[in-house]
Chain A
Amino acid sequence: MRSSDGDSGRGGVGTVMPYVPLAAAALAAVAGMYVAGVLCRPGGGMPAALLAGDGAAASAPVSGPASRPTWKRPRFTERQAERAAMARVIRAYGMRDEAVTAAMLAVPRHEFVTDDLARRAYDDTPLPIGYGQTISQPYIVAEMTRQLRLDANSRVLEIGTGSGYQAAVLTELTPHVWTMEIVKPLAEAAAARLKRLGYATVQVRHGDGFHGWADKGPFDGIIVTCAAGQVPPPLIRQLKPGGRMMIPVGGVYAVQSLMLVEKRPDGTVRSRSLMDVRFVPLLRSDPTADR
């Protein structure tokens, strides 16, 4: 994302006029560099400072403390309008967390889908990625991210890397992201993709996520995308007291609710089924009021 150029904010037209030709030349140079593809990729010839996502160029707000994020997050300008449209859809579902929305705006979802589905990358739909896996509907990704309540110090584990999209979104909010994928081709492809795109803060491992990633735990947040009726006890052990685990419930194309598992400070575990939107009321009045 490009920041807007600084404005003068003072003086009248006569003060500004001498600088117009210079400004026009600068704009032309920028346009030329964009056309040349220099600005479309991270590291595309621009000074490292601008890529660092800090200072004036940084446009991704972070949740948590006011300290500036210190990890590199790549930035992409391709198909930005589509991401903006996707963000509007997410907001229409009731998403109010601007940090999460900004994360969704930052990550190029089209890089995480197969070529034949690239044009549908920003549609409001899950998409297949092979091996019986999907990249979730954008809102589901956003909501799971929001429910984890991450800040820049949070440690997050994802079980079921898939394409790596969710991991990329997570790392917009924290640099401490670990993700595991049991299907080797998916794991390798995701790792290569994340590296190519510049998501250096995501660590990908091919392996059985049932056992978690003990030497990197405990975790503040865990996302499990392939629970199939069982929450692995090792994952519960690797959840910090106060930590939150998110599990989408339903088939790959039928995520009907999200399950939140919270570990209390005393180590006990409670779970909650989340229906983000208030569902159709069961009855016109609460029958328990009869008592």
Chain B
Amino acid sequence: MGAPSRQGPAGDALPALRARLCVGLLSAGVLVLELALLRSMALRFWGHFAQMVISVALLGFGASGTALTLLRARVVRRRRAWTCGLAMAFALAAAAAPPAARLVTLDAEMLAWDARQWGGALLLELVLLVPFLLAAGAIGAVLTDRPRRLGGHYAANLLGSGLGALAAVALMYVLDTPRLLVVPAIAGLAAGLVLLPWRRPAATAAALAAAGAVALLVAAAPREGRLSQYKLLSILRSMPAARTIHRAEGPLGRIDVLAGPAMHFAPGLSLQYTGPVPPHVVMVFDGDAAGGVYHAREPNDWAFLDYTLPAAAYHVRPPRRALVIGAGGGAEIGLALYQRHRGPQRDSSIVALEMNRQVIDAMRGPLAAIGGDIYDAPGVTVLPAEARGFLAEPGEPFDLIDLPPLDAFAAGAAGLQASQENYLYTVEAFEAILDRLSHRGVLVVTRWARTPPRDALRVFDTAAQALRRRGLPPAEHLALIRSWATTAVLVFRSPIAPADAAALREFCFRRSFDVAWLPDLRPEETNRFHTLDRPYYYQAARAMLGPRREAFLREYPFDVAAASDDRPYFQHFFRWRSFGAIREQLGRRSRAFVELGYLLLLAALAQAGALAAVLIVLPLAPGLRSLRGQPRKPAAMGYFFLLGAAFMLLEMVFLQKLVLYLAHPVYSAAVVIAGFLLFAGLGSMASARWRARPARVAAAAGAAVVAIALAYVGLLGGILSATQSLPLPLRAGVALLLIAPLAAAMGHMFPAGLRQLAAAAPPLVPWAWAANGFASVLAAVAAALLAMSYGFRAVLLLAVACYAAAVLLALRLPAAPPRFPAAAESAAKVLDLPGR
């Protein structure tokens, strides 16, 4: 391992400008790769693979740190060759990783049943790890350059990372995911060529060969990524004469529209309906969630939707003004049009929100004729807006707000969205909706039905909590109805009148829907058409509205308590303490109740930990002897471990919390990753300019982090709410401004501590780096798990506690020997590498 306590040889010189261009390109390429893989994995599997991708990227950086430590002398001697070589290798690996990942067989749905799938998940992580490892190695090689150049190299790294994150989002508008995955390879190739010593024929030949190989890999790469065979898109494609009539992709996902004689899509229809369903095609979002695009030219063509649960709200209180959240293929708009045609409010207006512009463009473009031009029907206004942002703006009230199920039927049942944030089904969201309802307004929230009940109960409790916060007695403002496939919670702004209840009963009776809650409901009225072993819904509704709510929520086999913006995991119902009882009763069948999203996170955590131990910590084992006699080892290791964990916990909190603020996980990822990298890097650079001892700088910075983070505990929610209605670019700016002071303070701590350690106990440096990397990898996944169980606030407070502990440990770091200040400082600068 290198001996940083004395000045090493200057090593192979790098041309400064070209080195920085190389670093910038590599850094940009890494961010593009990370975000492109997020999309690719979300499409192939489901969105919760994001944590795995982030964890793998961190693992690559951590492992490269260990490798550089072990190979430092060799790298320094031939710095340029190593940098070029690793950059080219990154280009090759970035080009090869997507097709290689495609070859890895992994059926995520089988994880609970087949242990072999865990091996597939591990293999996939290893395949994706390679390009990050190589890129990090190349960047790290440049950063072993002379200390006086490091500032410029850092700046290039930060700028490249930030631009890469933003470029990735911009490119998603013009490139589909397979093509986007080519960009990092091109960036890596360019980075290697920029620094190539062209005068050396061997190097030139190697570079050309690498370029040729990259070109071949890119040309041979499949134009479409692999899709899980269990996703709806795969199943629809296997149907006879199925054909794709439209496809579009953007940052918000991919839409595929399929047509074929075997496409039948009318979910949630009453069993009593035997009439026709208009011809239609199926629009699929990210391979799974689907909606029908119906060729309905006349309002009466939508009559079939009158036999679905959301129609109940129209029958009870016909609206003059209706809002549909999620226009999609237009079915909910069609329902509103039919009700307008059928009901007393012939001049009612309909507003529909659709945040995905690809959907709007499709429905107004190639699908317009198929979809009966529904987006431009008289009295219909479709807005390209996200619901929470729209609701945050002042505006006219609505008499009816329709919130349909926006996820896939089967994916929800398997718990595949358990780890996905959903800010539409929280108490705060329902409060915002209530504020937008007129006095006679009704919110109707439809969800897929499951046995035992879960979704509907959570919606019910969430609505009840929102009503309580508005000072309204929930028992008089709520109705719950269900069919065999769906449930609907109706939330009335004003108390349910006898006429409302009568209309609802009549509606349900004619369609064989069950009423599970009305203020005056009698037990014998429940559980008549789609019968359950017990009237679970009615009993649960009674319990949740009564004084035994807390006991019920505690004892129910699943977690159905109201979701909140602090814990927006609507589809996470799993309870460890109940699973034992479920397993006892159902045996192996209990695995059907394991939420795959949650299981995937646990798998990612276990595998990330194992890989981090093997790749980051284990290679340093031969150097254990050098630690003997080193002072204050526990304090040093603890300090860097806590930094690694706390940095990632804070970053992940911002990443998930800003999903609401910035309307989509991709935007949030781009802004948060770029913001933290940029400002933490600036903080790292600034940390060397303070005159105080590095340990004191670290402690002061840590105290600043604690203070800012504690302030955010109280203020962040308010700031985000107050600025929610701003346009997206401005919101991104606000987010960056919020991240800046926190990340800058965070960025001080690692290099300051490392400088202190380098001067006082050099053999501890690689271990400090390893501890930090190990903790980062684990925390990236653990943050999501903790947030699902305890909420963002708890994770934020945990991070604050970690930083507070790190402050105390900073003051306990080994002290540098006073007689070698110059040497110590120089040694520290040599190791002034970016980190957390």
Contact = CB atoms under 8 A, between A and B. Distances in A.
Interface string B515-559: 000000001000001111111101110110010100110011100
Nearest to B242: A182
Nearest to A210: B264
- Which among B113, B264, B531, B555 has the greatest number of chain A C-beta atoms within 10 A? B113
A269 B512 contact: yes
A80 interface: no
Contacts of A291: 523
A14 to B, nearest CB: 53
A85 interface: no
Contact of B110 (A206, A253, A277): A253
A272 B530 contact: yes
Nearest to A131: B238
A184 interface: yes
Interface in A221-255: 228-233, 236-237, 249-255
Nearest to B267: A229
Nearest to A269: B271
Contacts of A283: 539, 543, 548, 551-552, 555
A271 interface: yes
Contact of B262 (A92, A210, A271, A290): A210
Interface string A97-136: 0000000000000000000000000001110101110000
A189 B826 CA distance: 73
Interface stretch (B179-187, B392-400, B586-594, B625-633): B586-594
A259 B272 CA distance: 16
Contacts of B530: 270-273
B112 interface: yes
A19 interface: no
Nearest to B538: A288
Interface string B481-509: 00011100000000000000000000000
Interface string B446-464: 0010111000000000000
Given A93-B589, A259-B484, A288-B542, A280 B582 contact: yes
Size category, B interface: 35 or more
Given A182-B239, A269-B271, A228 B531 contact: no
B264 A230 contact: yes
B266 interface: yes
A256 B451 contact: yes
A256 B238 CA distance: 25
B414 interface: yes
B451 A271 contact: no
A214 to B, nearest CB: 14
A93 to B, nearest CB: 7
A273 to B, nearest CB: 5
Given A287-B539, A287-B548, A236 B271 contact: yes
A67 B523 CA distance: 46
Interface in B648-702: none
Contacts of A207: 240
Given A228-B409, A280-B582, A283-B539, A125 B588 contact: yes
Contacts of A280: 557, 578, 581-582, 585
B539 A288 contact: yes
B268 interface: yes
Nearest to B233: A132
Contact of A131 (B229, B269, B416, B512): B229
Contact of A230 (B415, B485, B582): B485
B451 A275 contact: yes
B240 A249 contact: no
A284 B551 CA distance: 10
Interface in B377-434: 409-411, 413-416
- Most chain A CB within a 10 A radius of its CB, from B229, B275, B416, B484: B484
Contact of B585 (A236, A272, A279): A279
B7 interface: no
Question: Interface size class for chain A?
Answer: 35 or more
B306 interface: no
A92 B587 contact: yes
A279 B531 CA distance: 15
A283 B229 CA distance: 40
A233 B276 CA distance: 9
Nearest to A263: B271
A278 interface: yes
A232 to B, nearest CB: 7
Nearest to B453: A282
Contact of A273 (B448, B532, B589): B532
B513 to A, nearest CB: 11
Interface string A254-269: 1111010100000011
B262 A208 contact: yes
Given A277-B586, A280-B582, A291-B523, A252 B410 contact: yes
Contact of B271 (A206, A231, A273): A231
B109 A272 contact: no
A283 B582 CA distance: 15
A139 interface: yes
A162 to B, nearest CB: 13
B212 interface: no
Nearest to B536: A282
A282 B539 contact: yes
Contacts of A259: 484
Contact of B542 (A126, A130, A250, A287): A287
Q: Which 6 A-B pairs have the closest CB atoms?
A: A229-B267, A251-B414, A257-B451, A254-B414, A250-B413, A254-B592
Given A254-B413, A256-B592, 6 more contacts: A184-B240, A250-B592, A254-B415, A261-B271, A273-B484, A282-B556
Interface of B: 107, 109-110, 112-114, 229-232, 234-235, 238-240, 261-262, 264-269, 271-275, 409-411, 413-416, 448, 450-452, 484-486, 512, 523, 529-536, 538-540, 542-543, 546, 548, 551-552, 555-557, 578, 581-582, 585-589, 591-593, 596
30 contacts: A89-B587, A125-B114, A130-B229, A131-B229, A132-B231, A132-B235, A137-B589, A207-B240, A229-B486, A230-B265, A230-B267, A230-B269, A249-B450, A250-B592, A251-B413, A253-B112, A254-B593, A261-B484, A269-B271, A270-B530, A270-B531, A271-B529, A272-B530, A280-B585, A282-B536, A282-B539, A282-B543, A287-B552, A288-B539, A288-B542
